[in-house]
Amino acid sequence: MKKKNLIVFGTRPEAIKMAPLVKAFQKQHEHFETKVCITAQHREMLDQVLSFFEITPDYDLDLMKPNQNLYGLTADIITGLKPVLEDFHPDYVYVHGDTTTTMATSLAAFYAGAKVCHVEAGLRTHNMKSPFPEEMNRCVTGVVSEIHFAPTTTSRDNLVAENKSQESILVTGNTVIDALEFSVNKVKSESYKDHEVEKLKELLDTSRRLVLVTGHRRENHGQGFINICKALRQLAEDNADIEIVYPVHLNPNVQKPVYDLLGDIPNIKLIAPLSYPAFVWLMDQSYLIITDSGGVQEEAPSLGKPVLVMRDTTERPEAVDAGTVKLVGTDATLIVSEANKLLADERAYKEMSKLHNPYGDGKACIRIVDHISKN
Ligand code: UD1
Ligand code: UDP
């Protein structure tokens, strides 16, 4: 009898990090029946990823609403998954990371009696308000999961400290590195043409150093984003030789302050969210990255790019410890002074530009599939 897998995700980063797992299980179709369910907590930003990885979901809950709230979204995911779980009866349900999709799906799968498998398990800041609500989401998911796929030994140790049994945890590396390798290989192939990259080449002023920015965290909405925009404006004014490129997240709480406060500055280019390969290409072109994203903190060290993180806490301490990622919070003065230091001081810049792979070796999905084969 084939084991039945249901892989569920809803947002851009979950899709990027689960896509290689979908591919890895689909290759083993003689042993597994694998179906994909998307909650579509995100819509356009999710569809961009599905299209690049050529994944057609078996179930699409199509839940995204403009400016959605956590109450409605959580309820809609749980009730939306009931018929899917009753139709497919999966043995294993795979969730990723720390979004509302992750937490609500893990609860629904637990109600259905499936084994919940948590990919990217064990990340913790130990501060329930930062990131909000993600720290709670991953703790709840950890409680109902039977198998924890931890990306690093640090995340394994966090789970052990919460009394999860050693046998329920496997250190795999982060699947984001599998995704990054897939992307780089696909982009290199003869037949691949990326119109977004071609458009970016026309847009970029190659005589200036590229500072790439992303930001979206809920705890930064409001004053945090006003501070971030002030800092970016100041940086652009201080450094005529840089160009800031910011693919702006579609959340209206991000779009509004960013376009209102930064829409009129000649060396700041605000653009729509990019497809994954185009964003990876842009990271590779950049001199410095300023972000509050989780995934970008994991990818940038593999490309040797220094990162300033606009958050007070991080659940990804490995690159901070290695000195290639630095936390700067959302204090405008600190963001400007740290960025200016890297732009002016070559030695400080070189120290932060080490190429290293603390988050994985590109084989995380193979380890997960092997583990489930033996389970
Ligand atoms: C969500 C996750 C966050 C994750 C982030 C990745 C939660 C609570 N938040 O935050 O953990 O880091 O995704 O990007 O799970 N929108 C669109 N089109 C899209 C996507 C979003 O228009 O493709 C707009 C919609 O108005 C939507 C809003 O953004 O209602 C917010 O989306 P939501 O998923 O609730 O929050 P994010 O800030 O994207
Ligand atoms: N990303 C992308 N297009 C963009 C910006 C980011 O494909 O325009 C990718 C990025 O490479 C990373 C992921 O999206 O893999 C990060 O997503 P996000 O910052 O939305 O969420 P987080 O990782 O913070 O949960």
The pLDDT of residue 192: 87
What are the catalytic residues?
A: 98, 120, 134, 216, 218, 249
Alpha carbon distance 220, 134 (integer Å):
13
Count other C-beta atoms under 10 Å from residue 266's C-beta.
9
Return the amino acid letter for 84.
V
Asked whether the beta carbons of 172 and 150 are under 8 A apart, the reply is yes
Pocket test for ligand 2, best of 175, 182, 214 (most atoms within 8 A of CB): 214
Q: Does the beta carbon of 212 lie inside 6 Å of ligand 2?
A: no
Which residue, by CA, sits nearest to atom 25 of ligand 1?
66
Asked whether the beta carbons of 16 and 295 are under 8 A apart, the reply is yes
Q: Does the beta carbon of 273 lie inside 6 Å of ligand 2?
A: yes
Alpha carbon distance 183, 284 (integer Å):
13
Q: Does the beta carbon of 253 lie inside 6 Å of ligand 1?
A: no
Secondary structure string (H, E, C) spanning 157-218:
HHHHHCCCCHHHEEECCCHHHHHHHHHHHHHHCCCCCCHHHHHHHHHCCCCCEEEEEECCCH
User: Alpha carbon of 374 to those of 142, 213, 247, 317, 323: distances in Å?
Assistant: 22, 43, 42, 32, 38
Q: Which residues of the chain carry a pLDDT beneath 50?
A: none
The pLDDT of residue 226: 98
Return the amino acid letter for 247.
P
Ligand 2: centre distance to CA 284 (Å)? 14
pTM above 0.85, yes or no: yes
pLDDT, one tens digit per residue, over 99-134 is: 999 999 999 999 999 999 999 999 999 999 999 999
Q: Does the beta carbon of 100 lie inside 6 Å of ligand 1?
A: yes
The pLDDT of residue 47: 98
The pLDDT of residue 190: 81
- The ligand with the least distance to the CA atom of 270 is 2
User: Alpha carbon of 209 to those of 48, 241, 263: distances in Å?
Assistant: 28, 6, 20
Both tokens of residue 75?
């309820």
